[in-house]
Amino acid sequence: MSVLPLVFTSGWASGINAYAVVLLLGIFGRTGLTDEVPASLQRTDVLIVAAVLFLCEAVADKVPYVDSIWDTVHTVIRPVSGAVIGALLAGQSGSLSDITAGAVGGSTALASHFVKAGTRMAINTSPEPFTNVGMSIAEDLGVGAIITFAMFNPEAAAIIAAVLLAAGLALLIFLWTRIRRFLRRRAQRREEKRLASEARAHTTAPPP
């Protein structure tokens, strides 16, 4: 059986929470639930690092504006993780070339990352923090459920991931106006801080 459905699903999940994907795949491999997970993802040091970073993301992902900063930092990390995981899964099964699997996993992770980051920007236009917490919990639970389901039925899990990705992209297009408003406000705040800093420096400067 081709590993492509699992590569696609893990790529989608990596764009949302790459550390959770590494942690779950490693645990599934260590417990013998699946033979698709390569030994490199089952190493104890890899699992420890993934668990620590997952906890860091679990906190940062629930704080307004901090979550968007975290997403910005992970614009490269998540797609690269999706590509590496896909290539490793393909190398383990031998049913798909590493380059193809890396391209599928990386591109899918990039798309789902943009959906997540854009949605968070739209959510951050609201002053209350409860939506951020709820969305973060829903994303973590969704990633865990989809990856777990993919271990037993990879084709169905890939279909679900594809539907969620398409729905997320459609929602992102719908929310684009709100996102642009958020970006303008953030740029305005930065400009106001810069002007205030220059004004303070000017008032505290000694007279000539």
SS (H, E, C) the chain: CCCHHHHHHHHHHHHHHHHHHHHHHHHHHHCCCCCCCCHHHCCHHHHHHHHHHHHHHHHHCCCCCHHHHHHHHHHHHHHHHHHHHHHHHHHHHCCCCHHHHHHHHHHHHHHHHHHHHHHHHHHCCCCCCHHHHHHHHHHHHHHHHHHHHHHHCHHHHHHHHHHHHHHHHHHHHHCHHHHHHHHHHHHHHHHHHHHHHHHHHHHHCCCC
- What does pLDDT average to over the chain? 88
Q: Dump pLDDT digits (tens) for 160-179.
A: 999 999 999 998 888 777 77
| 174-198 residue pLDDT tens | 877 777 777 787 788 888 887 777 7
pLDDT at 175: 79
pLDDT digits (tens, 9 = 90+) for 83-109: 999 999 988 776 678 899 999 999 999
Residue type, 15: G
Q: What is the pLDDT of residues 7-50, one digit of tens each?
A: 999 999 999 999 999 999 999 999 988 888 889 999 999 999 99
- The pLDDT, as a whole number, for residue 4 is 92
Entry pTM: 0.82
Classified as helix, coil or strand, 95 is coil
